[in-house]
Structure 1
Amino acid sequence: MAFERSCFFLFFFFLAIGLASSSPNHISYDALNAHMLGGRGLLEKFYVKNDCPVEFEKEDLSPLIRTCKGPYYNPLVCCNGFTQIACKYAELINNVDNGCSTDLFYVLNKQGGYPNNLFAQICKGDKEGLPCDKPKGNKGRH
């Protein structure tokens, strides 16, 4: 009986560690699509509870807005710029109940004039979402 409890505890312990360690390494697809629920787009910002501690309007969004321009949105350039910004706040953005993902997309759309759902459409990652790995090949550069 004690052995079964120990195995049960260890299973949930490693499951919790695995989930906790993987979430900040990705931007989830749920977060990318959270602002499009019900098709309200930017108006959703006013309908969603906002407990987000980050004021994205005051954040430096230039890595994205400066490089990702339409009418043709280059996925490599745009997704790199997006992850540069979003990965700093991955844990907050992945929690779709706090309003951070909705707020981020509202500000990006307002400042960059991006079409609704652009990043969910052009940015592809793996099964967990968009990876937040550090770029390779720029070691030592700022």
Structure 2
Amino acid sequence: MDPKISFFAFLFTLLLGVATSSTLISDGGLQSRGSIGRNLLQAKKSCTVDFEHANYTIITSKCKGPDYPVGMCCPAFKEFACPYADEIDDGTNDCASTMFTYIGLKGNYPEGLFASECREGKEGLACPAAAPDPTDDASTGHVTRSFFPPLILVSGFLLGFLFS
């Protein structure tokens, strides 16, 4: 087997695995969406997440004014928001605006604090791959696994053997 091809197959597999193993809260999800663009007559779906009764202690215990230190506020915001990244990023619902409304009410934060301060690049905030699902009940014994990363790994090795 040619070491150069094996290296590229390994690198391809590694990069593909990393790219598929994380979730992002997009830049658009970090902002409360009013009526922007062509959404004038389109009603948004109600958010399925109950942000009204969510536990905001994660944020309010770490992110305190009047300075609102970015080093404390942004990690706390990510810890709270990442489990809901898919819902927050869905532009067809009102989850982002609902979440930010309740964060503001529960923590008395200035409007736009997290959207303006918590940035990790053009794509938004990177959420850890193993963000806990708040709807999972540990007592049920249900285990959720993703078979996509192992599938990519096996595919990469097969490509390496095919081109050797």
Q: Given the two structures, how large is their TM-score scaled by the length of structure 2?
A: 0.58
What is the count of residue pairs matched by the alignment? Answer: 108
Q: Which runs of 5+ in 1 are unaligned?
A: 1-20, 39-47, 136-142
Q: For 1:94-134, what per-residue CA distance to the aligned partner results, in whole angstroms no more than 9, with x for missing partners?
A: 01220000000000001101111111111111221111126
Which position in structure 1 is the counterpart of 2:58? 63
The alignment status of 1:28 with 2:23, answered yes or no, reads: no
State whether residues 32 and 100 of structure 2, in contact with CA within 8 Å, keep that contact through their aligned partners in structure 1: no
Percent identity over paired residues: 35
Q: Structure 2 CA distance, aligned partners of 1:34 and 1:106?
A: 8
The 5-angstrom pairing of residues 1-142 of structure 1 reads 21=20, 25-35=23-33, 49-133=44-128
When residues 82 and 36 of structure 1 are mapped into structure 2, their CA distance, relative to the original with a 3 A threshold, is farther
Q: Structure 2 CA distance, aligned partners of 1:61 and 1:70?
A: 15
Which position in structure 1 is the counterpart of 2:162? none
- Residue type of the alignment partner of 2:31: N
When you count helix as a share of all residues, which structure comes out higher?
Answer: 1
Runs of 4+ that moved beyond 4 A: none
State whether residues 31 and 97 of structure 2, in contact with CA within 8 Å, keep that contact through their aligned partners in structure 1: no
Across the aligned residues of Structure 1 and Structure 2, the Cα RMSD in angstroms comes to 2.7
State whether residues 27 and 87 of structure 1, in contact with CA within 8 Å, keep that contact through their aligned partners in structure 2: yes
Structure with larger Rg = 2
State whether residues 34 and 96 of structure 1, in contact with CA within 8 Å, keep that contact through their aligned partners in structure 2: no
Q: Which runs of 5+ in 2 are unaligned?
A: 1-19, 37-42, 131-164
